[in-house]
């Protein structure tokens, strides 16, 4: 295989593995702060037990996020040196601000948040939790700014083949940034709310009726029920923004080969890129025109406008539908569970059995969404500025293939271990109550009961 494809697969593998964990930590940080604040107001130990259960998953996810993120910043240099050499003047400051304003903040206060409960006052511990949650969100802000700038670049000029910043406000608040940021933060909220609901439902299935489990379950389910309609609305707005700035991406998502009016909304199809047509179509008449142009007669851009300059149709078509389909499933399950908890105050067995696998729904939707966004940017690395193929470095295919194989093996093993440990934490909490021995003292009993120090 050629180094270009291998390097792309490697970067995709790195970034796919990485995004799984920030998607959890960004919103879980705020949920932990919520648990902490509820505890401070009510002195109800259930909230603190919920906090201590979920802070372990936060710690593990955070460690994964950090180590997998380091890999990516090195990949820019090892595999894609043309990227920084062309747009380094813009990407550089954005990445530097992420490190300076977010990474150190979250890393320094993470220690206090995780292990400082008895060493600092309750107030300082709450502040540390707040700063970690804030840090993860600031980090998301800067990286979304950079990604959005690569999608819809603005505020720069090209001189001698290099991008130079002319307007930092336009760079930061580039056209797709606000939409992408909101969409991603909501995605993180949904990932976490379904993860909390799913693991709590697992504990419920194992007979756990503890107060801490119930508090977490209700938090997860109600949060999911509130966020999912907001996310669907935000997603539609993000799509309309993409239509305005990256119409070729929308044309590929819709597998619409010709620019025309009365474009149907394809529920399913088999796009055939060689023949420029779809082989099977299950469609809602005029649907795409109605959604994108708010009129059946509205013209929707087709792939014919972008010959040789549009992303591959098949992966985009399916990635988008997996994301949107998962979103619909989240709506159905989230609202059903919320209604059930609200009216009957408890889960039912079938509902719990659905909620458990839905714990992974956020990951599925987030990955599918990012594939839609990033494959949809191809063949460009920075839209209209730099093609991915032109940023490739000189490393031979054999070396890339070796490193790729090593990464894939490590990622597969770690993902299995991560899932196993999280399930184990839930099963143990269900069987033994929220009193697991703590890190480093696994074989010793917990010294004192879980209680805050004022």
Partner 1 sequence: MSFDPAIILPLIFAGLMGLSILAYVILDGFDLGVGILFAAADDTERDIMVAAIGPFWDANETWLVLASGLLLVAFPAAHGIVLPALYIPVTVMLISLILRGVAFDFRAKVGLPVKPRWNFAFCLGSITASLAQGYMLGVYALGLDQSAAGILFGLLVGLCLTASYAAIGAAWIIYKTGGALQRKAVLLMRRALVFTALGMVAIALAAPLASPRIFARWFALPEMILLTLLPLVTAALFAALWAVLARLPAANDRYSALPFMLMAGIFTLGFAGLAYAFYPYVVPERLTIFAAASAPESLGIILVGVIVVLPAIIGYSIFAYRVFGGKAHDLRYD
**Residues 374-413, interacting with partner 1 (CB under 8 A):** 393-395, 399, 402-403, 406-407, 410
> Which of 68, 88, 85, 84 has its CA nearest to residue 10?
68
Residue 64 binds partner 1 (CB under 8 A): yes
Binder of partner 1 out of 1, 74, 285, 328 (CB under 8 A): 74
Residue 122 binds partner 1 (CB under 8 A): no
Binder of partner 1 out of 23, 71, 219, 242 (CB under 8 A): 71
Binder of partner 1 out of 11, 30, 35, 62 (CB under 8 A): 62
The C-alpha atoms of residue 247 and residue 311 are separated, in whole angstroms, by 11
Binder of partner 1 out of 279, 442, 445, 454 (CB under 8 A): 442
For 418, other C-beta atoms within 10 Å of its C-beta total 17
The upper half-sphere exposure of residue 50, i.e. CA atoms within 13 Å in the direction of its Cβ, equals: 31
Query: Least distance (Å) from partner 1 to the CB of residue 94?
Result: 9
Tokens (6 digits) for 230: 């907001």
x/- track of binding to partner 1 for residues 26-55 (CB under 8 A): ----------------------x---x--x
The C-alpha atoms of residue 140 and residue 112 are separated, in whole angstroms, by 22
Q: Residue 171 or 291: which CB sits closer to partner 1?
A: 171
Residue 1 binds partner 1 (CB under 8 A): no
Burial class (CB in 10 A: 0-12, 13-18, 19+), 441: exposed
For 431, other C-beta atoms within 10 Å of its C-beta total 11
Residue 181 binds partner 1 (CB under 8 A): no
Q: Residue 105 or 360: which CB sits closer to partner 1?
A: 105
Q: Residue 345 or 448: which CB sits closer to partner 1?
A: 448
Q: Residue 3 or 362: which CB sits closer to partner 1?
A: 3
Residue 5 binds partner 1 (CB under 8 A): no
To the nearest 10°, the Cα dihedral for 278, 262, 306, 176? -110
Q: Residue 2 or 442: which CB sits closer to partner 1?
A: 442
Binder of partner 1 out of 42, 115, 282, 432 (CB under 8 A): 115
Residue 81 binds partner 1 (CB under 8 A): yes
Residue 439 binds partner 1 (CB under 8 A): yes
Query: Least distance (Å) from partner 1 to the CB of residue 31?
Result: 16
Q: For residue 266, which phi and psi values (nearest 5 degrees)?
A: -80, 120
Please choose, out of 144-152, 161-169, 173-181, 301-309, the segment that lies near partner 1 by the rule CB under 8 A. 161-169
Please choose, out of 59-67, 272-280, 295-303, 318-326, the segment that lies near partner 1 by the rule CB under 8 A. 59-67
Binder of partner 1 out of 12, 13, 165, 401 (CB under 8 A): 165
Residue 262 binds partner 1 (CB under 8 A): no
Residue 325 binds partner 1 (CB under 8 A): no
Query: Least distance (Å) from partner 1 to the CB of residue 24?
Result: 14
Q: Residue 230 or 446: which CB sits closer to partner 1?
A: 446
Distance of CA 147 to the CA centre of its chain: 13
Q: For residue 92, which phi and psi values (nearest 5 degrees)?
A: -55, -60
Burial class (CB in 10 A: 0-12, 13-18, 19+), 409: exposed
Query: Least distance (Å) from partner 1 to the CB of residue 356?
Result: 20
Residue 280 binds partner 1 (CB under 8 A): no
Query: Least distance (Å) from partner 1 to the CB of residue 165?
Result: 6
> Which of 247, 284, 244 has its CA nearest to residue 263?
284
Binder of partner 1 out of 103, 204, 257, 317 (CB under 8 A): 103
Helix axes 104-115, 122-151, angle to 10 degrees: 150
Query: Least distance (Å) from partner 1 to the CB of residue 204?
Result: 22
Binder of partner 1 out of 1, 42, 43, 70 (CB under 8 A): 70
The C-alpha atoms of residue 172 and residue 155 are separated, in whole angstroms, by 9
The three state secondary structure string of 270-330 is: EEECCCCEEEEEEEECCHHHHHHHCCCCCCECCHHHHCCCCCCHHHHHHHHHHHHHHHHHH
The C-alpha atoms of residue 374 and residue 439 are separated, in whole angstroms, by 38
Residue 118 binds partner 1 (CB under 8 A): yes
Residue 236 binds partner 1 (CB under 8 A): no
Q: Residue 20 or 292: which CB sits closer to partner 1?
A: 20
The C-alpha atoms of residue 229 and residue 327 are separated, in whole angstroms, by 9
User: What kind and span of H or E run contains 386?
Assistant: strand 386-387
> Which of 224, 137, 213 has its CA nearest to residue 189?
224
Binder of partner 1 out of 93, 298, 312, 325 (CB under 8 A): 93
Q: Residue 269 or 386: which CB sits closer to partner 1?
A: 386
Q: Return the SS3 of 435.
A: coil
The C-alpha atoms of residue 308 and residue 165 are separated, in whole angstroms, by 29
């Amino acid at each position: 295989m050629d180094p270009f494809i291998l390097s792309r697969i490697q970067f995709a593998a790195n970034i796919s593995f990485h995004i799984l964990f920030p998607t959890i930590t960004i919103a879980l940080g705020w949920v932990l702060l919520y648990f902490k604040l509820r505890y401070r107001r009510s002195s109800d130990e259930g909230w603190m037990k919920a906090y201590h259960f979920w802070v372990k998953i936060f710690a593990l996810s955070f460690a994964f996020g950090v180590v997998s993120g380091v890999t990516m910043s090195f990949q820019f240099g090892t595999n894609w040196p043309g990227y920084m050499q062309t747009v380094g003047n813009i990407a550089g400051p954005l990445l530097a601000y992420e490190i300076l304003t977010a990474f150190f903040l979250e890393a320094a206060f993470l220690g206090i948040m995780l292990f400082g409960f008895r060493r600092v006052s309750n107030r300082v511990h709450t502040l540390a939790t707040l700063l970690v949650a804030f840090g993860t969100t600031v980090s998301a802000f800067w990286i979304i700014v950079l990604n959005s700038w690569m999608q819809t670049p603005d505020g720069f000029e090209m001189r001698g083949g290099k991008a130079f910043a002319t307007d930092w406000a336009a760079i930061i608040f580039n056209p797709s940034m606000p939409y992408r940021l909101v969409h991603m933060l909501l995605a993180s909220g949904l990932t976490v709310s379904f993860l909390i609901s799913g693991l709590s439902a697992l504990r419920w299935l194992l007979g756990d009726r503890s107060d801490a489990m119930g508090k977490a379950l209700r938090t997860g389910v109600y949060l999911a029920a509130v966020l999912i309609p907001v996310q669907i609305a935000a997603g539609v707005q993000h799509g309309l923004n993409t239509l305005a700035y990256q119409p070729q991406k929308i044309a590929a998502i819709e597998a619409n080969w010709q620019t025309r009016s009365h474009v149907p909304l394809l529920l399913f199809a088999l796009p055939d890129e060689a023949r420029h047509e779809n082989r099977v179509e299950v469609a809602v008449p005029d649907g795409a025109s109605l959604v994108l142009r708010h009129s059946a007669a509205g013209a929707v851009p087709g792939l014919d406008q972008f010959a040789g300059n549009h992303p591959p149709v098949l992966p985009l078509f399916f990635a988008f539908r997996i994301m949107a389909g998962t979103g619909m499933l989240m709506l159905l399950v989230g609202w059903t569970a919320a209604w059930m908890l609200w009216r009957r105050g408890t889960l039912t067995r079938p509902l719990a059995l659905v909620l458990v696998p839905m714990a992974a729904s956020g990951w599925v939707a987030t990955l599918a969404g990012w594939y839609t966004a990033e494959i949809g940017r191809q063949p460009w690395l920075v839209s209209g500025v730099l093609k991915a193929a032109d940023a490739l470095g000189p490393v031979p295919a054999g070396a890339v293939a070796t490193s790729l194989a090593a990464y894939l093996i490590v990622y597969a093993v770690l993902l299995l271990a991560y899932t196993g440990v999280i399930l184990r934490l839930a099963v143990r909490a269900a069987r033994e109550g929220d009193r697991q021995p703590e890190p480093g003292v696994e074989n010793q009993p917990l010294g004192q009961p879980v209680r805050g120090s004022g």
